Amino acid sequence: MSSAHTKTEHGHSTDHNYLNHGSGIWSWMTTLDHKRIGLMYFATVSTLFLIGGFFALGIRLHLAKFGATPLLEPDTYNKFMTFHGAIMVFMVIIPGIPAFLGNFILPIQLGAKDVAFPRLNLGSYYIFIAGAAIAASSMIFNQVDTGWTFYTPYSTAKTSNGVILLVLGAFTMGFSSILTGLNFIVTTHKLRAPGMTMDRIPLMIWALYSTSIIQILATPILAITLLLIGAEKTLGVGIFDPDLGGDPVLFQHFFWFYSHPAVYIMILPAMGVISELITAFSKKTIFGYRAIAYSSVAIAAVSFLVWGHHMFVSGQSTLAGIIFSIITMFVGVPTAIKLFNWISTMYRGTVTFEAPMLFALGFMFLFTIGGLTGVFLASTGMDVHFHDTYFVVAHFHYVMVGGTLMALMGGIFYWFPKMFGRMTSDLGGRISWVLIFTGFNVTFFPQFILGAMGMPRRYFDYLPEYTNLNQISTVGSWLIGLGFVVALITMIHGILKGEKAPDNPWGAKTLEWQTSSPPPHENFINTPTVTAGPYDFR
Amino acid sequence: MTSVSSSSEFQHQHHFKSADHQYASSKQGIWIFLCTEILMFGGLFVGYLIYHSLYPTVFKNGSETLDWKMGAVNTVVLLISSFTMAAAINYVQRGLHKVAAIMLALTIACAGAFMVIKYFEYSHKFHVGTVPGKFSLVDPACSAGGKRAECESKISALLKNPAELEKNHVNAEEVSRLKAVISQPKWEMFYGFYFVMTGLHGVHVVAGAFLIFWVFIKTLRRKVGPEYYTPVEGVGLFWHVVDLVWIYLFPLLYLVG
């Protein structure tokens, strides 16, 4: 009788879930359910990613110089570069994990029914959409070509007004970021399930919490910086104009004060995902839980002190350069702690290699390369040589694509069964991983060499001796593109025809695997009581 | 009595355990948001301090051309509005909706008064020419191509024209201050900061007034009361931060110099 009752209840909860709780487009457009909002971010970010990827392929095809005449005109090339950068940074990588995976996963992992402020959450989504639309319209209609960093005087001295719209778009998306961060902080503090003490919080949430702190503290500085660009353009206030006593380099200080912590808005959630994947596919308690949790917070703290390392050749003083160089090295310490702990977790674990695990391992490999080359760039002597070359381009792609995008892909394949109630083809996931991982290295490793040889970044053209490596790089970009197409097909196939997913297909231990696949509207039939750590495989 | 009580009972949202739980969460959220507002202004203050240290005379001269009396009146206006806002919160908590609505209306009136005074301040500066960048020139197009040093400022033109001085009520004291301003290169920098800082603050005053109007409507419709006053309290906290920012801006721009 008891068994029958349980089965009946389980059957009911499986039949009624958040996907069919309310039907029709309008119920999605006005939803207050964090899981649906997460999926809406997923659809939006994926679309923007495809667009940004198109511009990336265009850039690489142009730089391959397969024909006698250039593929793109100089102005067109500059626009492709600006669009690719602005879309990928502000619209894909920054919101990718926090807004999409974070929105879906954070409340369930806490044992909560929703985020603290559901209406604000939906508001954040539409503010993000508005910001992306404003930025996109400026790119389409006003032909911005400053690059995504809006450096002055380039962004303020030209007659084009496209910069104002793009800046307004970035400002608006920043506001969405602040509101999401606020929501996550309050949810983490106020809505944990009974028994979930601070040392029982999943590491994904520690990462999202640290990220939210950065969003709250750093994004307002971006807001005022972008506002000052607008004021400079419209009123000529002179703050960045040397004719009026201003200083263009001050803009760089303000911009990087936000944008270097923003790098950690991009990478910290990725590290949170990796902690989940490594434990789930090693079937082992995480090694050094506290060290990983606190290193997230440490990274968030140190990230505010290192912005000057983007400016070693800007005219910044030697003393400032030395100080920023030394402090930048410190970011490597908590990062190394994480990597050490992940490897230790795998040691003597029961390791399996499903697609999500492959992406996690790919992350560790690629991110380590990005991190080590970051140490090169943190050395002022070497940075003078590498600054604004393709070495830098390769470095930050290893961090942001090799890191964050790998983690995002791993996270999607990992939580896909929970989101949609269906499994993806693991073979499809593995094939996409092989293509993306291989293509990534073929694309960007040659760029380290090109940069060391002195090829400048952002240029429309280059000297003949760089041709071969550029062509190899372009071939790599095709593999990446193909890999993402395979991933897209795998996911669509999974949604339409995937095998029905059990509640806990990976045998993992965090709370989301204790509810149905897909979850009910309020996440749990009964709020769980937490009695152990999040990765208790003993 | 029972019927009235049950009809006014506040229903907390489904994902909170109780009304108190929801209230504590909302409070935390509001304070975090206000931190971001202070940080945004903080960025401006950092910029101000940097340039003030680079051009101390420019900033002293510019400060002396501001009408500290109008600034002081605006300070008093905002302080009164903070009192009326706090009173409104108290009356909502006690269920005195009509008095609360009056207090909220008075707060909005103070915001309006603040902006009217600011309108007169700004108008005078536009007429005299104490404005930023190219707009401070008789011919804004003159400075293109790095030839700013050869351009005539509106202040300079004004000082040569006794009729315009009379028309804009520029007295001898102000004339001497304006001469001091244009005696320094890069003098427009101060006004860049003046307009950006007071402009951003003004935007917040207007936004605050709209938010107060929103809770004013809620109060009239009795959507808030002893059981649920989070929106009024939240908007009140925002208004106090707007007031607080001005309390820093006023001495910094008008008095210290």
Q: Which CATH number characterizes residue B97's domain? A: 1.20.120.80
- Confidence class of residue A418 from pLDDT cuts 50, 70 and 90? very high
Answer yes or no: do B60 and B178 share one domain. no
**Do residue A254 and residue B185 have CB atoms under 8 angstroms apart?**
no
Pick A237's closest partner by Cβ from B55, B58, B132. B132
Contact state of A186 with B47 under an 8 Å Cβ cutoff: no
Say whether both B241 and B213 belong to one domain: yes
Are the beta carbons of B186 and A244 separated by less than 8 Å? yes
* A239 closest CB neighbour out of B24, B47, B143: B47
Q: Can you give the pLDDT at residue B255?
A: 87
Amino acid at A312: F
CB contact under 8 A, A191 and B32: no
Which range of A305-314, A399-408, B53-62 scores highest in mean pLDDT? It is: A399-408
Same structural domain, B55 and B173? no
Residues of B in contact with A244 (CB under 8 A): 132-133, 148, 186, 188-189, 192
CA distance B93 to B136: 51
- Determine the structural domain holding residue B225 and report its residue range: 19-136+186-254
Residue of chain A with shortest Cα separation from B48: A239
> What is the per-residue DSSP string for A226-263?
HHHHHHHHHH---TT-GGGT--HHHHHHHHHHHHHHHH
Q: A220 vs B47: CB contact, 8 Å cut-off?
A: no
Which residues of chain B make contact with A107, given a CB cutoff of 8 A? 15
Among A189, A235, A249, the strongest candidate for a mutation testing the B interface, having the largest count of B CBs within 10 A, is: A235
Chain B positions touching A117 (Cβ under 8 A) are 25-26, 29
Amino acid occupying residue A100:
F
> CA–CA separation, A250 vs B47, rounded Å?
8
CB contact under 8 A, A244 and B146: no
Whether B232 and B176 map to the same domain: the answer is no
A232-236: long-range contacts (C-beta < 8 A, 24 or more apart)? A232/A152, A232/A156, A233/A155, A233/A156, A233/A161, A233/A163, A233/A164, A234/A164, A235/B132, A235/B133, A235/B135, A235/B192, A235/B195, A235/B196, A236/B132, A236/B133, A236/B134, A236/B135
Q: What is the mean pLDDT of residues B110-120?
A: 93
Residue A205 has which token pair?
């949430």
Using an 8 Å CB-CB cutoff, list chain A residues near B148.
243-244
Q: Which of B15, B32, B55 sits opposite A113 (nearest CB)?
A: B15
B196 with A231: Cβ contact below 8 A = yes
Q: Of B156, B185, B214, which closes a domain?
A: B185
User: Which of B24, B47, B188 lies nearest to residue A190, judging by beta carbons?
Assistant: B24
Answer yes or no: do B160 and B209 share one domain: no
Which residue stretches of A283-405 are H helix? 289-302, 318-346, 355-378, 380-386, 390-399
Q: Could you say which DSSP state residue A400 is in? A: I
The answer as to whether B149 is a domain residue is: yes
Query: Each residue of B47-106: pLDDT tens digit?
Result: 899 889 988 988 888 888 888 889 999 999 999 999 999 999 999 999 999 999 999 999
Decide which of A452 and B154 is more confident. Answer: A452
Give which of B36, B45, B189, B200 to mutate to test A binding, by max A Cβ within 10 Å.
B36
Q: What distance in Å separates the CA atoms of residue B98 and residue B225, rounded to the nearest whole number?
A: 11
Alpha helices per DSSP H over B10-153: 19-54, 56-64, 68-93, 97-128
> In chain A, whose CA is at the least distance from the CA of B34?
A216
Q: Hey, what amino acid is at A84?
A: H
> Which among B125, B154, B185 is the end of a domain?
B185
Check residue A415 and give its pLDDT. Answer: 94
Contact assignment for A245 to B189 by CB distance below 8 Å: yes
Residues within 8 A of B (CB atoms), A 491-530 only? 522
A191 to chain B, any CB pair closer than 8 A? The answer is: yes
Residue of B nearest to A524 (CA): B15
pLDDT at position A161 is: 66
Query: CA B230 to CA B226: how far, in whole Å?
Result: 10
pLDDT in tens, A487-527: 999 999 999 998 988 888 988 888 888 888 888 888 888 88
Q: In this structure, are B107 and B226 located in the same domain? A: yes
Of the candidates B43, B55, B188, the beta carbon closest to that of A254 is on B43
Residue B201 has pLDDT above 50, yes or no: yes
Query: Given a cut of 60, is residue A9 above it in pLDDT?
Result: no
Shared-domain flag, residues B203 and B235: yes
Contact by Cβ (8 Å): A363, A410: yes
Max mean pLDDT among A124-128, A166-170, A508-512 falls in A124-128
Kindly determine whether residue A244 and residue B50, on different chains, have CB atoms separated by under 8 Å: no
Length of chain A: 538
Mean predicted confidence (pLDDT) in B173-190: 83
Please give the radius of gyration of chain A, using alpha carbons only, rounded to the nearest integer. Answer: 23
Which comes out higher in pLDDT, residue A10 or B189? B189
- Of A34-43, A229-238, B21-30, give the range with the top mean pLDDT: A34-43
Size of interface A-B (CB pairs under 8 A): 127
Q: Is A422 helix (H, G, I), strand (E, B) or coil?
A: strand
Same domain for B92 and B56: yes
CA distance A308 to A325: 8
- Asked if residue B155 has pLDDT above 50, the reply is yes
- Do B168 and B42 belong to one domain? no
Residues B200, B236, single domain; the answer is: yes
Number of domains in chain B: 2
Answer yes or no: is B9 within a domain.
no
List chain B residues with CB under 8 Å of A227: 196, 200
**Is the per-residue pLDDT at A12 higher than 80?**
no
Decide if B226 contacts B94 (C-beta within 8 A). yes
B39·A220 Cβ contact <8 A: yes
Q: Which residues contact A506 (CB under 8 A, 6 or more apart)?
A: A280, A281, A354, A356, A414, A513
Point out the residue among B40, B58, B146 whose CB comes nearest to the CB of A220: B40
Minimal Cβ distance to A189: which of B28, B40, B199: B28
Which candidate from A182, A228, A246 shows the least CB-CB separation from B33?
A182
Q: What CATH number belongs to A30-513? A: 1.20.210.10
- Confirm if A169 and A135 have CB atoms less than 8 A apart: yes
How many Å separate Cα A217 from the centre of its chain?
18
Helix (H, G, I), strand (E, B) or coil at B153: strand
A-chain residues near B188 (CB < 8 A): 238, 244-245
Number of neighbours of residue A8 by Cβ within 10 angstroms = 10
Mean pLDDT score of chain A, rounded to an integer?
A: 88
The reply to whether residue A216 touches residue B55, judged by beta carbons under 8 angstroms, is no
Compute the distance between CA of residue A226 and CA of residue B194 in angstroms, rounded to an integer: 18
Tokens encoding A196: 């979930």
Is B213 in the same domain as B123? yes
The band of B243, judged by pLDDT with boundaries at 50, 70 and 90, is very high
Q: How far is B228 from chain A (nearest CA, A)?
A: 16
Rg over alpha carbons for chain B, rounded to the nearest Å, is 23
Please tell me whether the interface predicted TM-score (ipTM) of this complex is above 0.85. Answer: no
Q: Which of A239, A251, A255, A521 to mutate to test the interface with B (most CBs of B within 10 A)?
A: A239
Over range A165-192, report the average pLDDT.
91
Contact criterion met (CB below 8 Å) for A160 and A152: no
Task: Tally Cβ neighbours within 10 Å of residue A379.
Answer: 16
The per-residue pLDDT for B111 is 93
C-alpha A493/C-alpha A487 separation (Å) is 10
pLDDT, position B9: 59
Question: Distance between CA B101 and CA B107 in Å, rounded?
Answer: 10
| B108: in domain | yes
Chain B residues 114-173 within an 8 A CB cutoff of chain A? 132-135, 143, 146, 148
A174 to chain B, minimum CA–CA distance in Å? Answer: 11
Q: Does B39 touch chain A (CB under 8 A)?
A: yes
pLDDT band at B114 (very low <50, low <70, confident <90, very high): very high
